[in-house]
Amino acid sequence: MQKLLALDIGDKYIGLAKNIQSISQRLNSILNDKNSIKNISQIISDNKIDKIIVGLPLGYDGKETDQSNIIKEYILQLRKYIKIPVVYENEILTSIEAQNNLRTAGFSPSEVKKLEHSEAASILLQQYLSHCHPDRSGGISKNN
């Protein structure tokens, strides 16, 4: 099975999750700062990642948002350092689901804030794994 890394890119933090076979595992979030691309590149290298799954925020109408464009620009910058496929996955409502999961598990409000992006990345990855999108474009594809 391919080794996958999911990214939930927020303004301040980037949530990360990787797969162990067909199960997603939440990793620690990283700061979305000037070092984040270097840090993600290192994580990809260290874990021998084959493909990246990126949460893309779409509106309820299925159209891209301003935040979608920011994320796509970030990925363009990341792709200068990596040579593996990138797949976009609709992340609608994953943040809400992540917060609910963490609250239900008994995490404090401050812990929820700290973990929500990585939990959202884990949800994205599990969502991707559950329908295993083929990579039709040979690299980057947009999956709604």
pLDDT of residue 110: 92
Among the four given CATH numbers 3.30.1300.10, 3.30.565.10, 3.30.110.40, 3.30.420.140, the one describing domain 4-143: 3.30.420.140
pLDDT of residue 28: 94
Residue by residue, what is the 3-state secondary structure of 86-125?
EEEEECCCHHHHHHHHHHHCCCCHHHHHHHHHHHHHHHHH
pTM for the predicted model, two decimal places: 0.86
Using alpha carbons only, how large is the chain's radius of gyration in Å? Answer: 14
Parse the chain into domains and list their residue ranges. Answer: 4-143
Q: Among 17, 11, 49, 44, which residue's Cα sits nearest to residue 120?
A: 17
Mean pLDDT per 10-residue section of the chain, whose length is 144 residues: 95 95 92 97 96 94 92 96 95 91 94 93 94 47 38
pLDDT of residue 14: 97
Residue 6 β-bridge partners: 17, 53
pLDDT of residue 137: 36
